Amino acid sequence: MVLWTLVLIAFIVAHLAASGRTEIRIAGNLVADAVAEAADDGAIFAAIFNQLEPNPDQRWPLNGQAHELTIGNSRVKVELEDEAGRINPSTASPALLEALLRTTGSDPESARRLAAAIGEWVGSAPEGRPQNVVLAGYQAAGLDYGPPGEPLETLDELGRVLNMTPTVLAAIRPHLTLFGPPVPNPASADPVVAAALAESAQGAQAPVPPNQPPPDLLTVRITATAFGPSNARVTKTAIVRVGATLPGGYAVLAWGGSGFD
């Protein structure tokens, strides 16, 4: 009995020791991730302050070029892009949305129908169909909802648009934004957006809404990837509007979340 008792005690001690090591590793990973996240936050603020530099020659260009910073024990890669180079599906013209869909691989008829459906979803369709007709189309597809007729809250919402597929959304998503103007800036557009702009040049363009930021304001996408202790790697993205007319010189539109990128 004594021997069996010793065996049982040894087993319990071994189990507790193994559990303790696992908990220590988990705690260490959580700490490393927290350190990397804090480094990301610091790098994003460093990028914002860089864009507030009075001397334009000292500012990092908004061309996606990587800049490396050291914050604490973490190495951080920071990339800045002009958000105005992307297409805003809430305000873009149907012609531009159709051109984007065609450029990313959709056939002409599918692109036309899907661009019209996006316009109905966000309420920007120039000649809206009767609501009962639109709802009938969604019901025929087995959906129990219809377009809200309002600007998107997240890009994920596009997945609910009639005839939108995960493949099509994955193809257009890298070229979309919730914070850009109705017509992207050709100077900062990527090749896909530039091609869509060229294809839709003769198409009707949506009027510029009155709540668009004045031209002296920049909307910047800042992506920070921190490489922290214990091989921790954390990426955060922030969308920031920068301009001398803003309180403090900048306004954060989105930070670290999903759905807006």
List pLDDT tens digits, range 110-135.
999 999 999 999 998 877 788 889 99
List pLDDT tens digits, range 150-175.
999 999 999 999 999 999 999 999 99
Burial (CB < 10 A; 0-12, 13-18, 19+), residue 69, is: middle
List pLDDT tens digits, range 4-20.
776 667 667 666 566 66
List pLDDT tens digits, range 47-72.
999 999 999 999 999 999 999 999 98
Transcribe 54-95 into DSSP letters: SSGGGSPPSEEEEEEEEETTEEEEEEEEEGGGSB-TTTS-HH
Non-local (6+) Cβ contacts of 123 within 8 A are: 147, 148, 149, 150, 151
Q: Residue 13: what pLDDT?
A: 62
Q: Per-residue pLDDT for 79 more than 90?
A: yes
CA of residue 247 relative to chain centroid, distance: 25
Transcribe 205-260 into DSSP letters: -PPPPTTSPPTT-EEEEEEEEEE-GGG-EEEEEEEEEE-TTSGGGEEEEEES-SS-
Which residues are bridge partners to 224 per DSSP? Answer: 78, 236
Q: What percent of the chain has pLDDT over 90?
A: 67
List pLDDT tens digits, range 214-258.
556 899 999 999 998 888 899 999 999 998 889 989 999 999 865
Q: What is the mean pLDDT of residues 201-219?
A: 56
Q: What is the CATH number of domain 89-176?
A: 1.10.40.60
Measured torsion, CA atoms of residues 154, 159, 163, 166, in degrees rounded to the nearest 10: 130
Q: What H or E segment, with its residue span, contains residue 149? A: none
Query: What is the C-alpha to C-alpha distance for residues 261 and 250, in angstroms, rounded to an integer?
Result: 20
Query: What is the C-alpha to C-alpha distance for residues 98 and 172, in angstroms, rounded to an integer?
Result: 11
Task: State the pTM of this model.
Answer: 0.80
Of 48, 82, 39, nearest to 64 by C-alpha is: 82
